[in-house]
Structure 1
Amino acid sequence: MNALETLQWQDWSSVLVVVAHPDDPEYGLSAAVKEWTDAGVEVSYLLLTHGEAGIQGLDPAETGPLRAAEQRAACDQVGVKNLTILNHPDSMLVYNLELRKDIAREIRVRKPNAVVVTNFEVEAYGGLNQADHRVVGLAGVDATRDAANPWAQTELLEEGHQSWGADVIVIAGHPEPTHTMEVSQESVDAGVASLQAHKKYLEALPDHPKPEEFIPETLAVDGGYAASFRVFGR
């Protein structure tokens, strides 16, 4: 594998992370988020669902607000102040223009330098990727291009949202990364704490690896820690 390039993020002022569920940003990505927010970058999260179908045995009407609250607590651990959660149905997301428009709208509102999504390959994380992850990742990529095109999603212009072109699309958790960035021990610890904030969710998954064990292991490199990404110009 070719040597990874160093991610040049120091001139960024805004980042938008687009994911399907509460807890999705917390598997290594949130350590990088902590680096960005500590440096003064405004990081916003857009969740397409409340994750209401994510806890077996607990009614979705109770699960959704619970998981939203846990995501807010996770955001506090890594300095994310802007959290938007939409009401698309958990585990039943469908790729369509409406989903793309909802993401493009947030891009035009937040005006990020980088739009970050998570791995949307069919095979991911040692198994088959969850359906919502696949839908949101691809929709996020396409919505980034929509947001930059004044002739796409013209309804957003009618709402007063002018076109905005992000500089890069960043994919977290990709098996073939192109870029890397160092993260400090403090950021790793914050990333661990952000996943631990999803307490009730993790309690319902007794076989889930312990955050304090696998997050540092995931980010470990010779001499320290680093997050890796696959990066594209839009």
Structure 2
Amino acid sequence: MTQQLEPMPTDWRRALAVVAHPDDLEYGCAAAVAGWTDEGREVTYLLASRGEAGIDTIAPEECAPLREREQRASAAAVGVAAVEFLDHRDGVIEYGTALRRDIAAAIRRHRPELLITLNHRDTWGGVAWNTPDHRAVGRATLDAAGDAGNRWIFPELGEQGLEPWDGVRWVAVAGTDRPTHAVDATPGFERSVRSLLAHRTYIEVLTDEDPEAYCRTFLAGTTEAAAERFGGRPAVTFEVFAR
């Protein structure tokens, strides 16, 4: 029998989603986010970069504000009002203490019980190589969950008034080939399509297909692929690390 996925934990109120670029969350977990915000949960987005190197035909200084606007509209489509950017340089985000410190600071500010990030491994299911930015941010987020609760790792954060927060109970990784948990995608699916479609400038460069058809086909494919392992329901999947 195919091993079934567990439902995501529900005994939490605040989540912080940390990814490298605009559109990272929309390709993987916007339907889950829509469902969570419907339930009154607070979700904040933190992006390490503004995605300024993502469109070959638009110079970074023009691209950054455009992609930021699209990301804010995308977040609003699934009920997320708070979107923050760290301004690490797109394409060359480095794993290390500076990135861990920035993420730990955000964890201390927002005090989430649930952290969300994107695939931190070298490949996408052993088929395609993952990008350095995804690997760096995903790994740093997993590490920062512990950093945020230890006052001696980044003591300067305490001096800035950011007291330790050891309340992160889970880190949920989207886009993994080793999922353990899932969320029913049906209630938030249409809003997830609108959320991805908000990145229209990027999508129009990425594909010649009609943008809405592209978004709908991609998201339907990923959520329906998980249905066999989630009671026949289309689902957003996560690999959950408990703390």
Q: Partners of 1:134 and 1:232 in 2: how far apart?
A: 16
Between the aligned residues of both structures, percent identity stands at 42
Q: Which residue of 1 aligns with 2:234?
A: 225
SS class of match (1:201): helix
Q: Write out per-residue CA displacement over residues 83-134 of structure 1, whole angstroms, 9 at most, x where no aligned residue.
A: 0012110001111111100000000001001010100111116411111000
Q: Which amino acid aligns with 1:155?
A: E
Q: Which residue of 2 aligns with 1:178?
A: 180
Q: How many residues align?
A: 232
1:28–1:191 contact (8 Å) kept in structure 2: no
C-alpha deviation, 1:6, in angstroms: 1.6
1:115–1:169 contact (8 Å) kept in structure 2: yes
Q: Partners of 2:24 and 2:41 in 1: how far apart?
A: 20
C-alpha deviation, 1:57, in angstroms: 1.7
C-alpha deviation, 1:207, in angstroms: 5.6
Q: Which residue of 2 aligns with 1:140?
A: 141
SS class of match (1:134): helix
Q: Partners of 2:26 and 2:183 in 1: how far apart?
A: 17
Q: Which residue of 1 aligns with 2:15?
A: 15
Q: Which runs of 5+ in 1 are unaligned?
A: none
SS class of match (1:230): strand
Q: Which runs of 5+ in 2 are unaligned?
A: none
Q: Which residue of 2 aligns with 1:99?
A: 99
> Does residue 53 in structure 1 map to residue 53 in structure 2?
yes
Structure 1 runs (4+) deviating above 4 angstroms are none
SS class of match (1:229): strand
Q: Partners of 1:231 and 1:144 in 2: how far apart?
A: 13
Q: Which residue of 2 aligns with 1:44?
A: 44
What TM-score comes out, normalization by structure 2 length? 0.91
Q: Which amino acid aligns with 2:220?
A: P
